[in-house]
A and B are shown apart, each in its own frame.
Chain A
Amino acid sequence: MDFNWLSTILFFPAVGAIIIAFISGKNDVLIRRVAAVFTAVPFILAVYLFITFDRSASAAGVIQFEENYLWIAPLTARYHLGVDGLSMPLLLLTTFLGFLAVLISWKVHERTREFFAWLLLLETSITGVFVSLDLLLFFIMWEIEVIPMYFLISIWGSGRRQYSAIKYVLYTLFGSAFMLAGILSLYFTTGTMNMIEITNGGLGMLQSAMPAAAIFWLLFIGFAVKLPMFPLHTWLPDAHTDAPTAVSVMLAGVLIKMGGYGMIRLCVSMFPESAQQYAQPLIILALIGILYGAAVTLMQTDIKRLIAYSSVSHMGYVLLGIFALGQVSMTGAALQMFSHGIVTGLLFAMAGLVIHNVEVRDLRKLGGLARQVPVMAAVFSIAGLASLGLPTTSGFAAEFLVFLGSYNSTAVPYAQVYTIIAIIGVVLTAGYILWMLQQAFFGPVKDIYTGVRDADRLEKFYMFVLVAVIMLVGIYPAILTDVFKLGISPIVGMISG
């Protein structure tokens, strides 16, 4: 523990936010540059950590880059950070998208200072969720995220932004209420806030005050809202539709991953027996999410709303992978989280660009844009194809591992049947993605869109970076799965199959 890497990554954006707060609001250029620097540094550090991360087999389940200080003595709450194989790639993803979100917001001119300050604070809080190993710290980070999100949506959003922002806050707090209850129950029954200790101690640490299943469900509801799981998903389309582009990217890219991460980190690894007991109904909800989500997606005509609903469907695969409770399926779920982060992040960035440049968001009115904006059309198509799980993109690697792992799961009865049903989703996905691409970019060229600006240099930069990562993970998924499996194998080891 020679250098506090994680703390540096965690608080760098927050420090940036404070500095930005002191810059004159008129100095847009400086604000953007400061924001870029204070998100670029954590990203570079995260890349460094990812490279130096110990991938040897003996590192399975080991917390790396750990920091552990006493924080609130009476509660035995500690300032305890660390990453394992599960959280390391998610940390990388958060800092990566955090940096790109700043670039994506380069054209925000309204109340720039506040916008970037909130955006950076948002990154800190999300990072905090992924690196905290203390329940109190975890919960605080989880809650802080609501504040910047509320302001970002309600001030810089569009459409019914007030409604969507409030809805987002209410939903999150609704889930958090259950989660807090769960965390407090955990604390009162085990006497510790240390997540690792609770996981390792197993259910033996639970004293009789609360049954394990009850705590499992309390925690689960909190995470299920965030994931989002059917039927708790309706906040997501509204929030996405009305949020500014960069916020959509962060929301789809990393925020909802907090739900999946929490499920694995708290629900499954602390309550393996409950997870197994309730796996079947949860998988059925996952299937509903996948198919129903895809069906509703097919009905959308607003470009951002369509992508938002597709997230409901895609997160169904995550839920399926997690609760199939196999090592491969859970690795697939983790990879799906990462993949969905970059793919949907790119889709939202592109949709935002279309809306910004064309100033139309209704797919029925768009059309023929491939001639006028070829670069955007090409990148949007690649993102779409990744979203429908085309091989050589990360989407395929992730979905395939989820299917493979779920089908082979021995922990859950009828896993094969559920998996086959889930695969129907890929046909529906192809339907809505191709429909969206056709509506926006193909068909007769429309004169009213002549002169629409294509992506500029900065936009091309972040697009191509995302495309490169999507392809890299798609062609060589081992770059991530080798890390994920270190975090997941000890968890799966606790499940009797």
Chain B
Amino acid sequence: MIPYQLIWLIMLLPLFSFIINGLVLRQFINRKSKLYGYVTITAIAVSAIFSIWALLSVAANNEEIIIPDVSWVVIDNGVNIHLGLIADQLSTMMAVVVSVVSLMVQIYSLGYMHGDEAGYYRYYTYMSLFTFSMLGLVLSDNLLFTFVFWEMVGLCSYLLIGFWFHKKSAADAAKKAFIVTRIGDFGFLAGILILFFNTGTFDIKELHELAITGVLAGTVLMWAAIGLFAGAMGKSAQFPLHVWLPDAMEGPTPVSALIHSATMVCAGVYLVARTMPMFIYSTEAINIVAIIGGFTAIFAATMGLAANDIKRVLAYSTISQIGYMMLGLGAVGMALAGEISGGELHLGTEEMLIIAKGAVAVGMFHLFTHAFFKALLFMGSGSVNHSTGTFDMRLMGGLRKTMPWTYATFLIGSLSLAGIWPLAGFWSKDEILVSAFESQKILFYLAMITVFLTAFYMFRAIYMTFHGEYKGGATDDGKDHHHTHESPWVMVGPLVFLSVLAVVAGWWNLTGAFNHFMGHEAEAAASVAGGLFGAFTHTVEGIPLPLISLLVALFGIFMAYVIYNKKWITAGSVGKVFGPLYTLVYRKYFFDELYENIIVKLVALKGLFTGFQLFDSKGVDGAVNGVAEVVTAGGRAIRHAQTGQLQLYGLFIGIGLAVIGICVYVFG
């Protein structure tokens, strides 16, 4: 059993490394020193060990670790805010994901950021702060502090997207990310206020109780849950707040791997899972989660088909996969809606809890596996960039010969993401498909099409990057990229480590062990494929779902092979056939244009706000200046009649007295 103080340390160690790097070390050593990296890596490594220890402790006893609270602000009896941590199955699992992926990313960064003119100082300082904030978000036991850390990770994301701030595109992307997620945070904050107003608490466990016992219910619960989900949509880049994530790729690649694929963007999924009892008792809210998730999954996947920048392909894939997770969390909603008759939900508390835990298990399992293979893919693309100097796949090709390790690990990650047996992604994706199949067929079909699209765009990326002839890499950075080379071991090592996880992470639930861990016992056998080979014979409602999804994914890979490797059908002819559709997808459905050019620039800045500005200077101020002119003229007039310099003052006192008189007359 882990002592509870160490749970605090999981979160605080990266904070210490932030302080040491940011405030202490810089006084003594050059910003290019690797020492910053070593400090961060050490802190996060210890954090990771403690996280794993905490996870094992929770798993062994199958109960959460109780941690005493610390008082923060007490204003009156109504407002009494405490800061505390929660260490249960869900949070310790997330802590492991965050600290392990972060550790890998930090090690990898030693190689990737080598020779960057900004040096290691700022990079590792921000990365430490991020890891601290993310662990705080995960471990916080009340929504207020979740929100605090939520904003902190947003800040780190802002700082790291804009790491190369001298590039205008990076500075723009950072700003866009912050503002778009803040629109979602508006909902989050409103949700918190609604909850506090109706319950007087921010504590997540108390809120669960209140939702389960029915004290918190109806429209209040619905709006609160929708508010929280709005925050999740912003952070997790769900439609229609997805626009910031592709641009966020302006940041260094390890940042994308950590923040914009494995951890921070999944915070939205975690938030919904964390507050699942509130969603489960509001069918409207949970259905919104499912619909937004299901739609985003396919919507983002289509955009991934046409992108030429390998990181953007991965970014769309991330949005799409998070949509999947949301779908996994929300899929039960449709089934629940079927249970409503006469406006009442006819399920007992026990049944509801089982449903809630089941939904969490499904959604979080995909988060768990996705974190590893997606971080792996991003770091693989970084490795490619390290050698070719570009992210544009049209300038790559044939890299499998010169970069065998990168190729092998990237292939494993892609297979896992595509959902190929027996890799991690296969198992977690399968459960979401089963869950969708059981509750809502339309969402299921969308998800199935997405399986095809995912396999297709990933192997399109693989064929364009690693197969065929090498096309010379970047031409605009003044360096020679004609001789590609494998990345150093400090980068390849983490790739190998993560590729192992990308294979085995899914096996946790082969026999339902993960579901059991998450407290989802009842139907464990029904939704799990039943062993490594059971997947081929497993059926749901008489249909061999796992097998079908595997075949669909293989078909996606085959199509990519046909078009991008063998070129039996050329990409150009496909583009011609789907002409307008291709343009639509390539231009990202014109959402950037809609938001930036029409809403922000035209309506807000040029229209409304310019109007306000004019009103302020001509209307409000103009009126006042008019009055002022009259008054000064009056003062001048009086000056002719009187001597001395105090008349203005006197005039006003006079006006004051007159006003009293009028008031007495009017009111009295």
Give chain A's interface residues, CB within 8 Å of chain B: 166-167, 170-171, 173-174, 176-178, 180-181, 184-185, 208-211, 213-214, 218, 230-231, 233-235, 292, 295-296, 298-299, 327-328, 331, 368, 370-371, 385, 390-392, 396-397, 400-401, 403-405, 407-408, 416, 419-420, 423-424, 426-427, 430-431, 434-435, 438, 441-445, 476-478, 481-482, 485, 489
Contacts and interface: CB of A to CB of B under 8 A. Distances in A.
Contacts of A430: 178-179, 182
Dominant secondary structure at the A interface = helix
Given A407-B194, A430-B178, A431-B179, 4 more contacts: A176-B656, A180-B653, A328-B79, A401-B75
15 contacts: A173-B652, A177-B652, A211-B668, A214-B666, A218-B660, A295-B604, A298-B609, A331-B75, A371-B166, A391-B148, A403-B189, A404-B79, A405-B79, A407-B196, A434-B179
Nearest to A424: B186
A104 B410 CA distance: 56
Contacts of B649: 173
Interface string B196-227: 11000000000000000000000000000000
Contacts of A403: 189, 193
B168 A178 contact: no
Contacts of B74: 478, 482
B425 to A, nearest CB: 35
B609 A299 contact: yes
**Secondary structure call for the B interface:** helix
Contacts of A213: 667
A181 B168 contact: no
Contacts of B562: none
Interface in B131-187: 144, 147-149, 151-152, 155, 158, 162, 165-168, 170-172, 174-175, 178-179, 182-183, 185-186
B612 interface: yes
A390 B197 contact: no
A155 to B, nearest CB: 17
B138 to A, nearest CB: 16
A473 to B, nearest CB: 11
A112 B490 CA distance: 60
Contacts of A180: 653, 656
B624 interface: yes
B620 interface: yes
B76 A296 contact: no
A28 B616 CA distance: 41
Contact of B166 (A171, A173, A368, A396): A368
Contacts of B155: 385, 390
A174 B655 CA distance: 9
B193 A407 contact: yes
Given A426-B189, A427-B179, A442 B668 contact: no
Nearest to B175: A434
B581 interface: no
A427 B182 contact: yes
Contacts of A442: 162, 165-166, 168, 170-171
B662 to A, nearest CB: 10
B613 interface: yes
Given A177-B656, A181-B657, A370 B165 contact: yes
A451 B73 CA distance: 46
Interface residues of B, number: 66
B147 A391 contact: yes
B637 interface: no
B422 to A, nearest CB: 43
Nearest to A407: B193
A443 B72 contact: no
Contacts of B664: 209-210, 214
The 8 tightest CB contacts between A and B, nearest first, are A177-B656, A391-B148, A442-B171, A234-B621, A442-B165, A299-B613, A407-B193, A181-B656
Contact of B171 (A176, A296, A438): A438
A431 B176 CA distance: 9
Contacts of B621: 234
Contacts of B182: 426-427, 430
A193 to B, nearest CB: 16
B659 A177 contact: yes
B151 A489 contact: no
Contacts of A404: 79, 193, 196
A445 B166 contact: yes
Contacts of B666: 214
Contacts of B174: 434
B540 interface: no
Given A174-B652, A181-B660, A213-B667, A420 B190 contact: yes
A419 B616 contact: no
Contacts of A392: 148, 152
Given A296-B612, A423-B189, A231 B620 contact: yes
